[in-house]
Chains A and B, each alone.
Chain A
Amino acid sequence: MIGITSYGAYIPWHRIDRQQFAKAWGGFAIPGERAVAYYDEDSVTMAVEAALDCLGGIEPSTVDGLLFATTTSPYKEKLCSATMALALHLRRDVQTADVTGSLRSGTTALGFALDAIKAKRANSVLVTASDTRMAAPSGITEQSLGDGAAALLLGKKNVIAEVLDSYSISDELAATWRSETDTFIRSWEDRMVMDESYSKVMPEAISGLMSKIGLLPKDFAKVVFDPPADVRRHGRVASELGFDPAQLVDPAGIFMNLGLLGSAMSLMMLVSALEQANPGDKILLAGYGNGAEAFAFEVTDAVKKLGERRAFAKHLQSKQMMNNYNDYLRWREIVPLDQARRPERGHISVAANWRQRKDLLGLWGIKCRRCKTPQYDNGGITTTPIRVCAVCGAVDDFDDYDFSRKKATVFSYTQDLLAPAADPPSSVVLIDFDDGGRMLFDLTDRNPDEVKVGMKVEMTFRKVFVDRGLNNYYWKARPVRC
């Protein structure tokens, strides 16, 4: 049996009420709110978070492949899944690929992963889909988009939803696009896209799949397919296909609370369906973008045995409303801003980062074999990597120690207003890890007023610095999210 063995998701903590857009620009506000990636988040960091959620209780070394689906890769040239593989503690002989440039890259990657498993190239493949698409300020699309990520683990063991079959349609139309130099998405007239593409392609893919496997609309407990830019027209296609509204995972819920999540949209809807799925349920999934891909799954008894995840439901509930639209402009780096009169940071050294890639991206520290003290040093002038134990003086007598999945307690903190920060103050915490080890970290996703000694925190993968087009990914602490 081949299929989904685990799922996970990530939704940024910060949300903005769409009234804020109308307040800034005048005009119409779409009801509801949207998710906004924080200044230290991008499609890579969100995908790592979703993947960590998905891998909860699963040994990372059992994963044979990692696919990163996005239309907002931070790089035109450089593999993001290679970065992610280190953050996720995957093996060196893992197959990594980025599937980019298409709104249905999430379902495309899902198809690739299933094919690799069928072809026995891999036993277990992790698929992540993540997007932080941007529209030019003042337009309605700026309100309708949202940031988020979803992850699925595909494999043969402990399958929670067996894949029955899939069907694809390719279709040429420039519905939305970004050129090599575009920051913001461009779109053709929505009515034409709806009439000539979405309302034809989506039914074609879904009907094609159903006839291929001999199933009827009534056979599906849950139906998940990408909405068009005008979400209201999702329902019309569903009813034309013969689905009852009760069968639908209604994208309006995600749209109203988070926005359109790009390549992560259909997989996020699938995750929300899996959270509530019962053994025996058949689920239909279809992703849309220059064609469509449809998949059919049948949920197994194992779905009830999967450990608890934050996935969609918990992440959705855990949120912080943004105070104003200016923060959105600042965090997404849409407008140039006054620079703090503080020294410029030095350049990234590719050599130094490469040397310490395991410690930096994977947050691997050491545990002294003699005195058993877990240790990590992220601020030393010359002490990284640790070669001499800070407690007993043992030299190079250590085991690897994973700090990335540990929780910790704030030992002391400051709110630094002199330090340059995209969302001042710069909250910095000295934290004691639950099983030993102390470190100094930036604190992210925090309300400064709520930070105190004794607060519980966890680690989160973030973008901490950008230099000459290179992103420095590293870890920060955050108050335990939910």
Chain B
Amino acid sequence: MSGSIKDRVAIVGMGCTRFGELWNKGPSDLIVEATNEACADAGIEIKDIQAAWAGSIFSGHGGRSVSEPLRLKYVPVTHVVNACASGHDAVRNASYSVAAGIYDIVLAVGFEKIKDEGMSGLPGMDNLTHTHAVATMPGMFAMMATKYFHRYNLSPQDGKTMLAKISVKSHYNGSMNPKAHLRNVLTVERVLNAPIIAWPLGLFDCCGVSDGGSAAIITRADMAKKFRPDPVYIKALQICASPTSGRITTDYDLTHVEEGYRAGQAAYAEAGIKNPRKEISMAEVHDCFSITEAVTMEDLQFSQRGKVKEDIDAGTFELTGALPVQPDGGLKCFGHPIGASGIRMLYELYLQLQGRAGKRQIENPKLGLAHNMGHEPLAPTVSVCIVGL
């Protein structure tokens, strides 16, 4: 691999709707509200957008899903479908088009309208021949928790307590976020006593299922300061798609995510990061379930293998810790409208880097990492984006 996106493009405007069960908002509301906020933030108008990339897995049907509500005038729009990494992949493709010198001002927008389905959770995981085991997403990630507890000799109580602390931390952060879906503060005891969704994961081990939209205006690095004095530069954009061997061969341990590790390694190489735990100031990772965040801390080398519990117990990932994770509440509390989540993560990192995160503000951050994990642990697609000043 010869090229790198580092410092070639910048984000100069971002927007994000409130996430939640937005019964009175449709996909067009989410797209228009997020894009309007991003354009206003960049000081441009919708008509200035030269090309757009849209990330959505349930609500989008081609580029027209975005050109239509925004009334984009005859510009190219591409619909990116890449599971939970769709938003990051929209940013990646938008950034590459700018870095290639084709466009100067482009839009990446993620959106999802999930709560029109009349059911809890996400649509199922059936395959064409209906031979996929009858498991939901919580079920698939629960198997990872089962295996993690088994491998590291954690009793169900100890394992679940470790995971509970992850959710308590995210709820605390989310309680300070006016755009978050879930803003209640939790206790470890309440998390442990919640109903089981898929053993060993309980209700508060699962992220919110939400509607929402998020948007970024991306431009050339050399033009960025024309829009604002504090643009946020892209340092790395990596995606790793699974060959799906974890479900087929017996060498995969199910206590780490190989795709996550590799996407992290590629991003660190692209950004020139040698010691991620020291150099990364903050991270927004894919905490669809508490166990996902735990394993991701190890995959991204924030914690040593099998040792994330020590860092959780030490408060390392809390807002005041050495490496704050999910400062905005994460998927857990901000919510998880699939296509919107990746850009929502960047939105928080962007605000934090610019010192605009209010009560959640981390002191003097330099580099932020956003991580999305699509599909399920046995066959994921993982994206890692790094941004900084």
Contacts and interface: CB of A to CB of B under 8 A. Distances in A.
A199 interface: no
A376 B147 CA distance: 22
B378 interface: yes
Interface string A333-346: 00000000111011
Contacts of A391: 245, 249
A414 B130 contact: no
B118 A341 contact: yes
B199 A352 contact: no
Contacts of A380: 127, 244, 247, 379
B248 A375 contact: yes
A425 interface: yes
B131 A360 contact: yes
Interface in A414-432: 414-421, 425-426, 428-430, 432
B106 interface: no
Interface string B128-146: 1111111110111011101
Contact of B198 (A390, A418, A441): A418
B143 A474 contact: no
Given A425-B199, A438-B248, A453-B150, A412 B143 contact: yes
A349 interface: yes
B378 A440 contact: yes
A377 B244 contact: yes
B314 interface: no
Most-contacted residue by chain B among A341, A353, A432, A440 (CB, 10 A)? A440
A346 B124 CA distance: 10
Most-contacted residue by chain A among B130, B133, B250 (CB, 10 A)? B133
A74 B135 CA distance: 26
A418 B129 CA distance: 21
Contacts of A352: 128-129
Interface in B45-81: none
Contacts, number: 163
A345 B198 contact: no
Contacts of B198: 414-419, 425
Given A342-B119, A428-B143, A377 B197 contact: no
Contacts of A278: none
A421 B117 CA distance: 20
B281 to A, nearest CB: 35
Given A383-B244, A453-B147, A412 B254 contact: yes
A464 B131 contact: yes
Contacts of B43: none
A413 B197 contact: no
Given A426-B133, A439-B247, 17 more contacts: A378-B132, A379-B132, A380-B379, A391-B249, A414-B199, A415-B198, A416-B136, A417-B199, A419-B124, A437-B250, A438-B250, A440-B133, A440-B135, A442-B134, A464-B130, A472-B130, A472-B131
16 contacts: A341-B119, A348-B130, A377-B248, A378-B127, A379-B131, A412-B150, A413-B146, A414-B142, A416-B142, A418-B120, A418-B136, A419-B124, A419-B135, A428-B133, A472-B129, A474-B130
Interface of B: 117-121, 123-136, 138-140, 142-144, 146-147, 150, 195-199, 243-245, 247-250, 252, 254, 378-379
